[in-house]
Structure 1
Amino acid sequence: MDNTPLVSVIITFYNSGDFVHSAIKEVQKQTYKKIEIICVNDGSQDETLSLLKKYQQEDNRIIIINKNNEGGAHNALAAGQKVVKGKYILTFDHDDKLGEDALEQAVISMKQNPDWGISLFKVVIMDEEGDLLESRPQPKNILTAKEAVKATVIRFKYAFRCLYKREVFQSFSYYKKEPWLNYDEYVGRRLIYNAGFIGFNSGVYYYVRNKDSCTSKISLKTITPLETEILNREFIKKNELYKNIDIDFEIFFMNKLNSYIKLYEHKLKNKSSQTQKKYVRDLFKRAFDSINKNIIIQSQKGFKKKYMQLLFSNFFIYYLIRKLR
C-alpha cells in the first residue's frame, strides 16, 4: 500500500494564457510526484482555458475548475479550497517559480513534525527578468500560531509561502462576496492562527514581483485593501496580538488611512460616481473610528500633542486636514 501523502497544488488563472505553460511545468518538474494540480480558471477571456484543457489531456493529475470571475482572487482560491483532496496543500501563483525539490522538502518536514500545521519555504524575491531582489528570512525557531500572527502585524516579518495541512487550510474560507483586494492576506492570518505550530523547510519558493499585477493598477478597487485592514485590526485586537507594539500599530494604520485619502482625493475622486463617493466616505469614516486615538495622542508631546487632539476631534476635521496635505 502506498502511504505517500498526496499534495494538492492550487494555481489560479485570470487571462493568464502567457503563464499556463510555465506555471504547470514548475509543478510538473517537482521531484515529489504524488500531486494533484488544481487549476482554477477565473473567468478568463483569453486562451487560458483551452491551454489548460490541452495540458489536462497530457497529465491526468490536472483538475480544472472553470468559474465566473467574481472580481477577487480570493474567490478563485475558495473554489480550489473546497475540492482539495491532498493531505498537504500549496497555493502557487501562476507567475512564480519553485525549486525542484521544494515540495519534497516541505513534505519531509511535515512528516517529521506532525504537530506542525504549516511549513514555510525559503522565499527568494525576483523581478520579471529573473534578477534577485531579496531573500526573505526564515524563523530561527519553531513558532506558535500566536507568535506567527504577531510576525505579520504592521509588516510581514517573514514571507508566508508555505505548505499547509489540509485541516488547517480548510479551517477558514477564502470566499467573500465583495471583490476586495488583499482579502487573501486576512484569510492567511486566520489560517496561521489555526495552525498550532509553524515550522520551516529547505525548499525554495521564488516569488516574482510583477509590475503589471492587478494590485499595481489604480482604480476605486485600489482603496479596498482598507476594508481588509479593518478586518485584520479587529482580529488582531480581539486576540490581543499587538501587545507592546500598540502605539506603532495605531500610527501605522493612521498612516495607511492617510495614504488612501490622498490617493482618492488626487487620483480617483473626480472619476467616482455619487454612490462610489458615499461608499469611500463611509469606508474612511469606519477606518477613522477604529483608530485608538488616545494611544496616539498620549504618545505625543507639546505642540504635536495639541495638533493630534485637534486632528482627532472629529472625522470632518481629520479628513479636511488630510486631504489638504
Structure 2
Amino acid sequence: MDVHKLISVIVPVYNVEEYLEECLESIKHQTYTDIEVILVNDGSTDNSKEICEKYCRQDNRFKLINQENQGLSEARNVGVRESIGEYIYFVDSDDVIKVDILETLLSFMKDDVDIVGCNHSTNKEDLILQTSPNIVFQGNSSEAIASCLNYRGVTYFAWDKLYRRRILEQVPFLKGLIYEDFYTGIVTLKYIRKMIVLDTIGYYYRIRSGSIMRKKYSEKNLDIFKICDSLLEEFKNDIIVSELSKYLFLVISQHVLFYRIQPDHIYYNIYQDYIAKFANIAKKSHEVLRSCRVLRWYLCSPKYFTRVTFPLYLRYNSVAKFVKDKVRGNV
C-alpha cells in the first residue's frame, strides 16, 4: 500500500441504519480503488454497527472503530488520527458520493495544492450527470478565505473536499460543539498553499428531519457563539478581521431568522449583543462598511434590523436572484 497515493475516507456513523448501506456502497464502488474507509461508530444504538461490520468482512479496505458517543467532531478527529492516507475525504453516513468523485478530485491535487473541492446537491439524481469538470476557483490562502467569506464558490463544509493530510492535522474539529464545520472549514484555509474548486457535482447531501439544522431550537444552538468567538480569536490579528466580522454578523442574523428568535425568546438579547459586537468590529474597515449595504442599514437602525430590515433585505436578494436567473434562462 502506497500511503502517498492512498485516500482515507472517514465516515462518522451514528444511528443511520436506514441510509448507511447506500452511503457505503457509493464508497465501495469508487473508480479510484486505492482507499481505506475508516468507519467511526459513535455509540450507535440501532443496527448501524452490524452494517459496518458486514462491510468490514466483505472488503478489507473497510475498518471499524467503535466508541462511546462523543459527537460528530470527535468522531472525525478519531478518524483522522487512525487513518494513514496522504489524502482525506469525509462522508456523512446518510449521504452519497458520485462514483468517480475521488478519482476526479485527486487528478487536480497537484504538488502545491492542499484542498480540492466540488459542488454538492440535495437532489440525488444530480450525481449521474456526466460533465467534464471545470475549475471555478483557484487561489491561495487569502484568496480562498476571501471567497468563502463573500460566498463566492468556496464553502466551509467538511464533506465536499479532498484534503492533504497535514492540513487537517493542524486544525482538528472543535470537540463537543455543533456547527463544527464552520470553524474548521474556515481555519483550514489559513494554512493552505493553494485550493481548487470544481464545478462538478460529486456529493449528495441528504436533508432529513433528524439532522442538526432541522431540529427545534435547543441550548446546543448556542454553540454558534463559541464557534464565532473561536474564529474571531484565530483571526484577531489578521488583516481580514473586519471582513470576518461582517461574515459573522450575517451568520448570526440569519440564525435569528432561521430559528424565529423574537424579543420574547430567552436568548434574544444574547443574539442582539453578538450582532452588535460583530457589526462594530466590521465597521472599523471603511472598505467593508462601504461595500456592505446591509451593515450600514443595521448601524442606522439596530432596533428593527432582525425583525424588519434584514428579512426585507433577504427577500429582495431572493427576488433579484430569481429575476437574474430567469433572464439567463436558468429558471
Range of TM-score over shorter length: 0.7 to 0.9
More displaced 10-residue stretch of structure 1: 42-51 or 196-205: 196-205
Q: Which residue does 2:224 correspond to in 1?
A: 225
CA distance in 1, matches of 2:85, 2:177: 28
Contact 1:106/1:202, CA 8 A, preserved across alignment: no
The answer to whether the aligner puts 1:289 opposite 2:287 as a matched pair is no
Measure the CA separation in 1 of the matches of 2:48 and 2:18: 8
Q: How does 1:1-325 map to 2 (within 5 A)?
A: 5-70=5-70, 72-110=71-109, 113-121=110-118, 123-127=119-123, 130=125, 140-153=136-149, 155=151, 157-159=153-155, 161-176=160-175, 179-200=176-197, 204-212=201-209, 213-220=211-218, 221-241=220-240, 249=247, 252=250, 255-256=253-254, 258-259=256-257, 262-263=260-261, 269=266, 285=273, 288-292=276-280, 295=283, 308=299, 311=302
Question: Could you tell me whether the CA contact under 8 Å between 2:137 and 2:153 is conserved in 1?
Answer: no
Higher Cα Rg, which structure: 1
Q: Is the 8 A contact 2:88 2:162 kept in 1?
A: yes
232-241 or 49-58, which deviates more: 232-241
RMSD value over aligned CA atoms? 3.8
TM-score normalised to the size of structure 1? 0.75
Please give the alpha-carbon distance, in whole angstroms, between the structure 2 residues aligned to 1:166 and 1:17: 29
**How many angstroms does 1:144 deviate by?**
0.3
For 1:305 and 1:190, locate their aligned partners in 2 and report how far apart those are by CA, in whole Å.
27
- Decide whether aligned partners of structure 1 residues 100 and 223 sit closer, same or farther in structure 2, where only a CA change above 3 A counts: same
Query: 1:223-270 CA deviation, whole Å, 9 max, x = no partner?
Result: 422332333344445322266x5895475256347547952656x64x
Gaps of 5+ in 1: 270-276, 312-317
* CA shift for structure 1 position 211: 3.5
Q: What fraction of aligned residue pairs are identical, expressed as a percent?
A: 23
- Size of the alignment, in residue pairs? 294
* Partner AA of 1:186 in structure 2: Y
Q: 1:180 to 1:306 in 2, by over 3 A?
A: closer
Distance 1:254 1:154 in 2: 15
Determine helix, strand or coil for the equivalent of 1:170: helix
Corresponding position of 1:315: none
Relative to the length of structure 2, the TM-score reads: 0.73
Letter in 1 for 2:216: I
**Segment of structure 1 superposing worse, 210-219 or 7-16:** 210-219
Q: CA deviation at 1:44?
A: 1.1
One-letter code aligned to 2:214: S
Q: Secondary structure at the match of 1:164?
A: strand
SS in 1 for 2:18: helix
User: Does the 8 Å contact 1:120/1:163 carry over to 2?
Assistant: yes
C-alpha distance in 1, partners of 2:19/2:97? 14
Question: Structure 2 CA distance, aligned partners of 1:40 and 1:295?
Answer: 43
What amino acid does structure 2 have at the position aligned with 1:215? M
1:60: Cα distance to partner? Answer: 1.4
Structure 1 runs (4+) deviating above 6 angstroms are 304-307, 321-325
